[in-house]
Structure 1
Amino acid sequence: MLTFLELETRLRECAELHERETGAPPDLNRRILARVAITPASEAARPTVKRDVLLSALVAAAILALAIVITVGVRSHFVQPPAPVKPAPAPTPSAPAVPGSVVLINKIQLSSGQVGWLNAARTTPAGPSVVFKTTDGGRHWQQRLQWDGPGAQQMLFQGDDGVVVGQGGVPLFHTTDGGGHWQRMSLPQIVQGEAAGTIYFRNSREGWLLAYTAETYSDAVCAPGGCPSLGVFQTTDGGLHWTQTAKLKPMEVFPGAHLQGPLRFWDGLNGWLVGDSGSQGLPTVYATHDGGRSWRGASLQSPQLGSDESAIIGEPPHFFSREQGLLVVETTVLCQAGACPSPQPTPRSFLYTTSDGGDHWSAPAELPPMGTFGFNRVFFLDAAHYWMVGGPNVASTVDGGRRWTVHRNVVPTDLFLNQPVFSSLSDGWVIATSAKAAVPTIGLYKTTDGGAHWVAVPTPSFDQVP
């Protein structure tokens, strides 16, 4: 298992090797390594949520992210203005899929009972990633956009106006004609190409970005050469223009926290960020009420856990107004020294609410047991109507989570459901994945009666995507 110091050494070697071979933009090496140095490396080892497995995944993700950052940074050293992007052509015969790759449905959005969007991508660093659209409830799909790289972090459409956000904001596309034509947008010049922050769009026009900038500051915590400042940026035109609303010293504002957690904003003043310190226990939920100029952290009361359980935030904060919001915490197995208990405890979910804009959060309220653990399992249509999925089961509430109706085995029992989305009280979609197949099979199901019954929806073919 790599230690933090070993990971930092490997990242340093990668950065220096790349700089020698390709001539990276000025200061890129120092800025990458300064980011690594922001989080203290001296924390003692401790039992965590399947920590060995998760840390291995994070190490791999960090190395991949470094490669993406360097590549994008080199390409964006010569900054181009936002350019129109032609819609992806209709699929034509092409070479077979990359051997060993799998096509996964990454994001879905249901605009109405008939109009929906789907982002799928191959499980290779180069993708490709494709956005498809249906106007007849999934019977037929049209390819609307394609790019090289991982799947979308966010995909949001309101009528013909839409935005597709890549990981960390790269790439960023905007359309005003239902995907017929696209314009590729740029991140703020000061963070251009780095994809090193957390980004969120409230709608297809309003977005926020927290990202490290080229400016640095020095204090007793920073590595030699200084730490990068953290900028808060806002756009109101889909990413065409960005305004910096705040400049922060991250170690003072978010002490010890990793700033890649979920970001949410309700309006130009009120926003929330989940900042995970990497230590045992639930992350801190930070709130701002002045557009990101200042932040206040709120701790969550841990649910009662068994000796073989730990808790993590399974769903980011979701707000229905400036004051009223909620989030979901999940339990998972607590492994120590690589050893996990057997049999493993059944995963549980807990709902937290706030009525003061996230400055304080309620005690946890346990949700119905749904079986298989996973992220993106809850959808909130409004303050009263939620849906939650787990395994082949769907649960719904019409009173803000006080009472639930559970529909069991609504799809074949060898499938587990993920990412439910609803456009109304009746119409919804959900992603279904085979639980036992060596190569996952991904499908799509829809309901027209609020989740009691589901039928399979044809998914677009990826076989002819270049």
Structure 2
Amino acid sequence: MERKPRAYSLIKTLFVLVALATAACHREVAMPPLPLRNITLTDKFFDVWPTSPTRAFVVGDRGKVLLTEDGGRNWKRIDIGTQLGVFGIQMTDAENGYLCGQDGLVMRTRDGGKTWKRLDSRTHLFIFSLSFPDANHGFLVGDRALVLSTTNGGETFTKRQLQKLFPPEIADYALPYDEPVLYSTRFVDVDHGWVVGELGRIWATENAGKSWQEQQQMLVPQYKYPLGPNDDPRFKDFLLPTFFSVSFRDQKHGAACGLEGWVIQTDDGGKNWRFAHQADKPGGPPDTLVPGAPHIPARDPLFSIDLFGSDQGITTGLTGTVLRLQPNGAWAHDTSVPAIPFPLSQVRFFDAQHGWIVGYGTILYTEDGGKTWRFCQG
């Protein structure tokens, strides 16, 4: 008869111990949640646009838009109401700005970036770049040779394609060269602008996009790429490396960069382009490599380029590559930028002293013209 009370007592004791342990566990996990970080290693930042020496917008994957007012020490996330990737952003003044991205995404702000409204771009193609010389006039480029333009701040868009029309007798053979992707555009004013993209295409306009002219022809004889057994000599001028980014300091001086790590430059608005040489170190002599020739050392692709100040320039690329324009005209690895083994998508300077570099999990800021860079956290 004693077994029942003893068994009941044992069960009761175990129940009390479990209850105490459960209560203890509850006390342990009742901790405040960790703050949500605005910048993580998994972020993919594609563009940055500074609006003052210390204020800048950064955009990236999954609809992420960040704003800093203090040189990157603190960040605020802006909800734009979409999870689509944002590839480009530009503020035309303190209140007006635009962004673009996946699935034909084009958005506009009229209140300094606090709120964003999606516009009817009339396309679902990826839009990779945009350039607005003022609040009303803008150009956007993307997949399948897409060019969008607006003259009324995005209320309506005109859509066209920038691609070469081949003679009927070779049109069927030219299918691999149809509808090249356009990756970057830059307008220095309403009339003068450039577009670069796949297959080394360069287009320019001097009349606000009413007509366009190809400009890459000067590069073809400079690019000593040997024809392969399957290369049709009729399309030799389509064997140039793809260009991902273009920048112009003014109507005359411009540069572009791209797939094979080459930088091209012009001093006459693109009538003549040339491949720029690189140096093994800052201040070193330019190399003597011939673009496109066999046995050229592999170079990282360059994703962005920015000409700033009166004579400065920086380009960024894969595996943290950063090249800087040297006084002798060559581009050399910039040793002042921290070594980062991640793609660096975009570089933009607000003025000769204040600039930004963004990439995968990375935001860098300088306030001394690039002599030193600070990692931004948030």
The interval holding the TM-score normalised by the smaller chain is 0.5 to 0.7
Match of 1:206 in 2: 137
Separation (CA, whole Å) in 2 of partners of 1:211 and 1:454: 32
Match of 2:254 in 1: 325
Report the CA distance shift for 1:377/1:369 in structure 2 as closer, same or farther (over 3 A).
farther
The one of 182, 185, 195 aligned to 2:125? 195
Partner of 2:78: helix, strand, or coil? strand
Contact (CA 8 Å) 2:366, 2:374: kept in 1 or not? yes
User: 1:405: how far off?
Assistant: 6.7
Partner of 2:302: helix, strand, or coil? coil
Match of 2:48 in 1: 108
Separation (CA, whole Å) in 2 of partners of 1:323 and 1:450: 23
Matches for 1:427-466 after TM superposition, within 5 Å: 427-431=354-358, 433=360, 442-459=361-378
Match of 2:275 in 1: 364
- TM-score w.r.t. the length of structure 2 is 0.64
Contact (CA 8 Å) 1:199, 1:207: kept in 2 or not? no
Contact (CA 8 Å) 1:263, 1:271: kept in 2 or not? no
Report the CA distance shift for 1:425/1:307 in structure 2 as closer, same or farther (over 3 A).
farther
Separation (CA, whole Å) in 2 of partners of 1:268 and 1:233: 14
User: 1:430: how far off?
Assistant: 1.7
Match of 1:173 in 2: 107
Report the CA distance shift for 1:306/1:425 in structure 2 as closer, same or farther (over 3 A).
farther
Is residue 316 of structure 2 the alignment partner of residue 397 of structure 1? no
Partner of 1:133: helix, strand, or coil? strand
Partner of 2:365: helix, strand, or coil? strand
Report the CA distance shift for 1:250/1:231 in structure 2 as closer, same or farther (over 3 A).
farther
Separation (CA, whole Å) in 1 of partners of 2:128 and 2:119: 16
Is residue 191 of structure 2 the alignment partner of residue 272 of structure 1? no
> How many residue pairs align between the two structures?
302
Separation (CA, whole Å) in 2 of partners of 1:443 and 1:411: 11
Matches for 1:104-143 after TM superposition, within 5 Å: 104-121=44-61, 127=62, 129-143=63-77
Contact (CA 8 Å) 2:105, 2:124: kept in 1 or not? no
Report the CA distance shift for 1:427/1:232 in structure 2 as closer, same or farther (over 3 A).
closer
Amino acid at match of 1:161: N
How large is the RMSD of aligned CA atoms in angstroms? Answer: 4.2
Match of 2:349 in 1: 422
Contact (CA 8 Å) 1:393, 1:411: kept in 2 or not? no
The one of 149, 165, 170 aligned to 1:234? 149
Amino acid at match of 1:201: S
Contact (CA 8 Å) 1:209, 1:234: kept in 2 or not? yes
Separation (CA, whole Å) in 2 of partners of 1:197 and 1:432: 18
Is residue 203 of structure 2 the alignment partner of residue 286 of structure 1? yes
Separation (CA, whole Å) in 1 of partners of 2:262 and 2:163: 34
Larger radius of gyration: 2
Separation (CA, whole Å) in 1 of partners of 2:131 and 2:266: 22
Report the CA distance shift for 1:292/1:404 in structure 2 as closer, same or farther (over 3 A).
closer
Partner of 2:80: helix, strand, or coil? strand
Separation (CA, whole Å) in 2 of partners of 1:134 and 1:209: 25
Report the CA distance shift for 1:162/1:363 in structure 2 as closer, same or farther (over 3 A).
closer
Contact (CA 8 Å) 1:197, 1:260: kept in 2 or not? no
